[in-house]
Amino acid sequence: DSGVTQTPKHLITATGQRVTLRCSPRSGDLSVYWYQQSLDQGLQFLIHYYNGEERAKGNILERFSAQQFPDLHSELNLSSLELGDSALYFCASSVGGTSSNEQFFGPGTRLTVL
């Protein structure tokens, strides 16, 4: 157990819908990272937040947004869902805000869009 929690574990929804994925970092970690893992695209970095502020954006679609709250938990919002958004979504946390800190991954949320 990495200490990073993600809810829900599984999510099944329909095209066009909107969902929210939640992540709670390890105690003491200030950074949260979001990743998408699909069979055809592999592991893709989406976005990084550090202590409530956006630090870096990767291949995140405009339909997706994220935020990190004062208690450091983070939410990833996915809207106007498409079949291709079906994937495993991981969050990870680290102590600091740069790559010099080891990242700890959560168990993931499996999203299925029907």
| Min dist. Cβ of residue 16 to another protein (A) | 29
Of 103, 100, 102, 101, residue with least CA distance to 92: 103
Cβ nearer to another protein, comparing 26 with 79? 26
CB 34 within 8 A of CB 66: yes
Phi, psi of 59 (to 5 degrees): -85, 55
| Min dist. Cβ of residue 91 to another protein (A) | 10
| Min dist. Cβ of residue 83 to another protein (A) | 21
CA 26 to chain centre: 14
Cβ nearer to another protein, comparing 14 with 40? 40
Distance, CA of 53 to CA of 41 (rounded, Å): 27
- Interface ranges with another protein (CB under 8 A): 2, 31, 33, 42-45, 48, 55-56, 58, 90, 97-100, 102-103, 105-108
Cβ nearer to another protein, comparing 14 with 42? 42
